[in-house]
Amino acid sequence: MGLARKYKDLKIKVEKLLEVMAQLRNPEGGCPWDVQQSFATIAPYTIEEAYEVADAIEREHLEDLCDELGDLLFQVVFHAQMAKEAGAFTFDDVVAGIVAKMIRRHPHVFDPQGGLTGGAEAVVGAWEEHKKAERAAKAREGGLLGDVPRGLPALKRAAKLTKRAATVGFDWPEVSQVLAKLEEELGELREEMAGAGDPAEADAARERTADELGDVLFVLANLARHLRVDPEDALHRSNAKFVRRFGYIEGVLAARGQRLEEVDLATMDALWDEAKERLG
């Protein structure tokens, strides 16, 4: 009886959330801003909310995590409401779809006759096999790379693209070959930079330089995959390291009664080296 009551309460809360969203999107009496939105305009907010969830987790702040998860859920409801208005699908379809997918990908849990042995590694292997079968079906529609989300951060998407291509053998077998390709791309970038002196060619040169820099970043993402490192996480760590060390510079200067604008680069470089020694 207690469990049934909990499900009923949850259903009431979800239905209330859907009602709130529908009212916000109602052209008559709704919110003018919400009514004007589309999938494309809301997508950046969805990505932003996902990052705020990750930030709360990193800070180990569970109260904020609860709040951010609510914001992320609201994004799901927002997209579902717009899809309902377009006659494409509903929130119920979203829930039914993910329930079916999770059951399908976890036969070792939901199929008593098809138990899986071998622990977590075997589970990951089975999961990948299920995903591979699903991707094969999608590949017939949009190609092998067609379902790699375009909205992912560029470095993460690059790693996923190369990982997917590697499943059919399109990959360098050795890390040394990736490093050689990186050197090649750096050489091409240097060439473009060296030839960018003509003012009349400035815009075209900038475009070519951007292309070559993009190639360098793409190969770096591929290198990260070969090294079993998440490039997005690696850059995230470096960002945090930079903020930490730069904060040290600011703190030391403030203790001296100085501001960043009042000291030269050599002074800041010396403090940067000090920060590396003290903070890592």
Please write down the long-range contacts of 229-232, taking CB distance under 8 Å and 24 or more positions apart.
230/156, 230/159, 231/155, 231/156, 231/158, 231/159, 232/153, 232/155, 232/156, 232/159
Is the pLDDT assigned to residue 198 strictly greater than 70?
no
- pTM here is 0.64
Mean pLDDT of 56-74: 95
pLDDT: which is higher, 250 or 130: 250
Output the pLDDT for position 149.
84
The chain-wide mean pLDDT, for the chain, equals 89
State the pLDDT confidence band at 128, using cuts at 50, 70 and 90: low
pLDDT digits (tens, 9 = 90+) for 7-46: 788 889 999 999 999 999 999 999 999 999 999 999 999 9
pLDDT digits (tens, 9 = 90+) for 2-13: 777 877 888 899
State the pLDDT confidence band at 64, using cuts at 50, 70 and 90: very high
Output the pLDDT for position 119.
59
Among 138-142, 180-184, 255-259, which stretch is predicted with the lowest mean pLDDT? Answer: 138-142
Tokens of 128: 């990948």
pLDDT: which is higher, 147 or 255: 255
Short-list 78, 21, 35, CA closest to 13: 21
Helix axes 91-105, 119-142, angle to 10 degrees: 130
pLDDT digits (tens, 9 = 90+) for 208-232: 999 999 999 999 999 999 999 999 8
